[in-house]
């Protein structure tokens, strides 16, 4: 399924029997309405800006599958990466030394 079909289906699921507009849906997704219209009209095939993809993913996590993109790292990996960035270089070196001891690595 092409992205334009996928986003169109998501809109109709979100809208249900209401009279909610494309503008309201764009606001719900946190994206510009002209961008959403371009996808509906197929003048733009899919999002290329990662910030737009993340914004959509907050409401429709399956957007990564629709775009055939890998899933982002789990929250645990993100937390480890955040903690790693705050470590002193000497601490990072010590952790890597322990983690990469000869004989302990999977080959």
pLDDT per residue as tens digits for the range 13-37: 999 999 999 999 999 999 999 999 9
Would you say residue 67 has pLDDT above 60? yes
50 and 18 part of one domain: yes
Q: Are residues 51 and 7 part of one domain?
A: yes
pTM of the model: 0.65
Q: Which residue has the higher pLDDT, 42 or 82?
A: 42
Measure the CA–CA gap between 11 and 88, rounded to whole angstroms.
47
Q: Tokens standing for 79?
A: 């937390």
11 and 44 share one domain: yes
Q: Same domain for 78 and 62?
A: no
Residue numbers of the domain that contains 9: 3-66
Neighbours of 31 (CB within 10 A): 21
Instruction: Tell me: pLDDT of 88 over 60.
Output: yes
The per-residue pLDDT for 107 is 41
Task: State how many domains the chain has.
Answer: 2
Identify whether residues 56 and 79 lie together within a single domain: no
How many angstroms separate the CA atoms of 38 and 56, rounded?
15
Helix or strand holding residue 67 (H, E): none
What's the confidence (pLDDT) of residue 96? 75
Residues 58 and 7 in one domain: yes
Shared-domain flag, residues 48 and 90 = no
Q: Note whether 60 and 78 are same-domain residues.
A: no
Q: Are residues 87 and 57 in the same domain?
A: no
13 and 34 housed in the same domain = yes
């Amino acid at each position: 399924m092409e992205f334009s079909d996928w986003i169109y289906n998501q809109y109709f699921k979100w809208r249900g029997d209401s009279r909610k507009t494309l503008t309201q849906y764009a606001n719900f997704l946190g994206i510009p309405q002209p961008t959403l219209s371009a996808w509906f009209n197929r003048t733009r095939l899919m999002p290329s800006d990662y910030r737009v993809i993340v914004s959509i993913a907050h409401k429709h996590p399956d957007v990564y599958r629709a775009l055939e993109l890998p899933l982002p790292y789990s929250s645990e990996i993100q937390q480890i990466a955040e903690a790693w960035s705050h470590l002193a270089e000497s601490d990072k070196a010590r952790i890597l030394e322990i983690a990469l001891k000869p004989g302990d690595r999977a080959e």
